[in-house]
A = this chain, B = another copy of it.
Amino acid sequence: MSTAEETAGGEAQAWGEVTPDAARRLLVAAVEAFAERGYHATTTRDIAGRAGMSPAALYIHYKTKEELLHRISRIGHEKALEILRTASRREGTPTERLAGAVSSFVRWHAGGRTTARVVQYELDSLGPDARAEILALRREVDGEVRRIIEEGVESGEFDVLDVHGTTLAVLSLCIDVARWFSVGGPRTPEEVGELYADLVLRMVGARNPAA
């Protein structure tokens, strides 16, 4: 929010909370490098270089390369969770809230594809402790979507046989956007968000898929 600045190549909107300035620059550089080449194929020299610093500078702000990934992953998951929570707690019918949740979740994965890629696909590169922490956040994400679907089933708006399985499928569909979405492609993040909201309402058998 407020005066978020957008860089040309990537998205540096949400990292405002990271201080000091040099630490943030390193983190943004790491996000871009991890998204492009993957965690293991990225060198600490590459990250430092993108941030305009010497290789050793990285270790003033972060203990290891893995700590960078851990920080990125936690901040990213917290952002994703916040987006879902905001959408899920708005006023409205389960149909409206599910559509809003899916479209904003998808917009985030498409628009912030660089960050989302790292967050969603580099989980296995974390050590056991960090991974466990992130998995707990993922369970909260899962619960948020499941709750909307359960409420829709209870109210009779949705027709779902397997709530857990459908929740998994809905989240899987949204997350995979980060894999295939391309900024040069034919669709804007907003268009994909709307398309996917419609598709998900169909998946849960919503009575009148709005829009």
Using a CB–CB cutoff of 8 Å, the interface residues on chain A facing chain B are 37-38, 40-41, 121, 124-125, 161-162, 165-166, 168-169, 172-173, 175-177, 179-180, 187, 192, 195-196, 198-199, 202-203, 205
* Other A-B pairs, 14, CB within 8 Å; known A40-B41, A162-B195, A169-B195: A40-B40, A41-B125, A121-B121, A165-B192, A166-B199, A168-B180, A169-B196, A169-B199, A172-B173, A172-B176, A172-B177, A173-B176, A175-B176, A175-B179
State the CA gap A50–B136 with chains docked (Å): 33
Task: For A203, list chain B residues within 8 Å (CB).
Answer: 199, 202-203
A75 to chain B, nearest CB (A): 21
Question: B residues within 8 A CB of A172?
Answer: 173, 176-177, 179-180
30 A–B contacts, CB within 8 A, in A order = A37-B124, A38-B38, A38-B40, A38-B124, A38-B125, A40-B40, A40-B41, A121-B121, A121-B179, A161-B198, A165-B187, A165-B192, A165-B195, A166-B195, A168-B180, A169-B195, A169-B199, A172-B173, A172-B176, A172-B177, A172-B179, A172-B180, A173-B173, A173-B176, A175-B179, A176-B176, A176-B179, A199-B203, A202-B205, A203-B203
- The interface centre, meaning the residue of A162, A168, A176, A195 with most chain B CB atoms within 10 A of its CB, is A176
**C-alpha gap A197/B198 in the complex (Å):** 18
* Distance from A46 Cβ to chain B, minimum over Cβ atoms (Å): 13
Closest to A192 in B: B165
